[in-house]
Amino acid sequence: MSATHPVVPLGLLFMHRLQRWLARHRSLYQQADAVMFYQKNIRSVAHMPQESRPQRQKWIWYNVESPSNTLKLPGINNIFNLTLSYRRDAGIIARYEVVIKDEPDDHFVLPKKDRLVCWMVSNMWSAGSRVRTAYYKELTKHIKVDVFGLGVSVPLPAERYYPTMQSCKFYLAFENSAHKDYITEKLNGPLSSGTVPIVLGMPRDNYEEFMPGDSFIHVNDFPDAKAMAQHLLELDKNDEKYMKNFAWRRFYTATPHLLTLKNEFTQPTCLACDHILRDNRYSAVHNLYGWYHSSR
């Protein structure tokens, strides 16, 4: 262990290019105290550089997907030393969390709004997304929803994400699946932008473990999409009521997260470096998928 040895975020590379890259940068790999592997890009254990792995090097399994969207790869249970995930029982926890302000303040100014309900979505039609797509379709019968994203009406480049988010009064922060603590940047986007998130995923009490109960609207707060739409239309006409959704900002701050594929690795890589520098204990993950896929 030494501070001069970096964590190499190999997840930045696609696995099929990994071997070629390693051939050219072998010395860097040999020096690294830890190597991060991005679960989505691991094609097979055979592609991982196990033979040349230095004894003291820790392998970090980095995953941002929920269990339903995490493929089980054979042979992977006994090769990692640390997990990096949104789960609070991971070795290294990577989440976007609301933090308490040192001093309460009332400086919040509502961004200019010219849209009512928005949704940015990339895989509206994938299998795991059926619940949220069904809710969205029902909702659009009663209220207008502006949809942005890959493969749907209006594609949205990263630099338009925050300005677009700010222009919406409400935002559908719908998770693609329901798993304990699986509350993602989909919620952090609106919270940090001054937009009211409408959440679908885990029940309300799991959300309230991470953020104040009045900072979001939960689909379960209403018997159906029609009742929710009525509530939103009412808030649209009543500024005083609408602003109550921002009362939490007096005491808490939400920080915008980094966008674009390249930057998405910045926060987890920093967290991994920090962990590796502070903690040089031996560790091994023996039943990775047993842990990850177990229902809690």
Ligand X SMILES: *[C@@H]1O[C@H](CO)[C@@H](O)[C@H](O)[C@H]1NC(C)=O
**Selection from 204, 237, 245, 242 nearest residue 222 by Cα:** 204
CB of 7 to ligand X, least distance (A): 13
Q: Cβ-closest residue to ligand X?
A: 284
Q: With respect to ligand X, which residue has the nearer C-beta, 76 or 143?
A: 76
**Neighbouring residues of 102: CB distance < 8 A, sequence distance ≥ 6:** none
* Burial grade of 49 (CB within 10 A; 0-12, 13-18, 19 or more): middle
Q: How far is the CB of 30 from ligand X (least distance, A)?
A: 14
Q: At what angle do helices 225-237 and 130-139 cross, to 10 degrees?
A: 50
Which one, 33 or 185, has the nearer CB to ligand X? 33
Interface map 117-146 toward ligand X (x if CB under 6 A): ------------------------------
* DSSP label of 216: S
- Using CB under 6 A as the binding rule, whether residue 58 contacts ligand X is answered as yes
Based on the shown chain and the rule CB under 6 A, indicate whether residue 186 belongs to the binding site for ligand X: no
Nearest distance, CB of residue 46 and ligand X, angstroms: 17
Asked if 2 is part of the footprint of ligand X (rule: CB under 6 A), the reply reads: no
Cβ proximity to ligand X: between 76 and 173 the closer is: 76
Nearer to ligand X, 82 or 199 (CB): 82
User: Shortest approach of ligand X to residue 76 CB, angstroms?
Assistant: 11
Rounded to whole angstroms, the Cα distance separating 18 from 42 reads 10
For CA atoms 92, 95, 97, 99, the dihedral sign is positive
The contact pattern for ligand X, residues 74-93, with x = CB under 6 A and - = no contact, is ----xx-x------------
Please count the CA atoms within 13 angstroms of the CA of 148 that sit on its side-chain side: 20
Distance separating alpha carbons of residues 226 and 229, to the nearest angstrom: 5
Q: Which of residues 263-292 bind ligand X (CB under 6 A)?
A: 282-284
**Whether 208 is catalytic:** no
CB contact at 8 A, 120 and 158 = no
- Residues engaged in binding ligand X (CB under 6 A): 56, 58, 78-79, 81, 282-284
Catalytic site residues? 65
